[in-house]
């Protein structure tokens, strides 16, 4: 994994590596499931995205980096794309980032119940992939 281009473009910076923890992200996803009862599916989408962004940031910090700049959310997904964890899911959540922006900053509500349910399923899958990556990465360092 080579992140030199992102470093030179000022999209990420090196930091001290951190431990990887995911408990609060899993709580966010549980909250999103409960939020389905409200039928406020764009709010569910926002909670799911927040959890994905949080675990993605923790992964990046675990590797000794952090996304910076006013586009740090976008830069986070650029970093993930360089990692080749699961490009389909990374693209899915990068698109969700854009949809969330429309909801938060333009008051555009578009998420259906089926989409919100799918977001939760895919988020859980992504969390498991990231946890697996971190576990394997730890093993490779020893």
Per-residue model confidence (pLDDT) at position 73: 95
> Which residues face 13 on adjacent strands?
66
Domains for the chain: give ranges and CATH numbers: 4-14+22-133 (1.20.120.330)
Per-residue model confidence (pLDDT) at position 16: 97
Per-residue model confidence (pLDDT) at position 142: 64
Q: What are the average pLDDT values for consecutive 10-residue runs of the chain, which has 142 residues?
A: 92 96 92 96 93 96 96 96 91 92 78 96 96 88 68
Three-class secondary structure of residue 117 per DSSP: helix
Select from 37, 62, 35, 64 the least CA-distant residue to 49.
35
Q: At what angle do helices 87-106 and 72-83 cross, to 10 degrees?
A: 170
Select from 116, 99, 107 the least CA-distant residue to 32.
116
For the chain, the maximum distance between any two Cα atoms, rounded to a whole number of angstroms, is 48
Sign of CA dihedral 1, 138, 90, 78: negative
């Amino acid at each position: 994994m080579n992140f030199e281009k992102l470093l030179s473009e000022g999209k990420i910076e090196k930091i001290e590596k951190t431990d990887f923890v995911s408990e609060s992200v899993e709580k966010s996803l549980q909250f999103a499931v409960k939020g389905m009862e409200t039928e406020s599916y764009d709010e569910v989408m926002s909670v799911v995205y927040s959890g994905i962004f949080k675990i993605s940031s923790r992964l990046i910090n675990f590797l000794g980096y952090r996304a910076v700049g006013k586009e740090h959310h976008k830069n986070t997904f650029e970093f993930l794309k360089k990692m080749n964890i699961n490009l389909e899911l990374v693209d899915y959540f990068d698109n969700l980032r854009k949809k969330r922006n429309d909801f938060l900053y333009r008051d555009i509500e578009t998420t259906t119940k089926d989409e919100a349910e799918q977001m939760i399923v895919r988020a859980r899958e992504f969390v498991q992939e990231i946890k697996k990556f971190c576990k394997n990465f730890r093993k490779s360092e020893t």
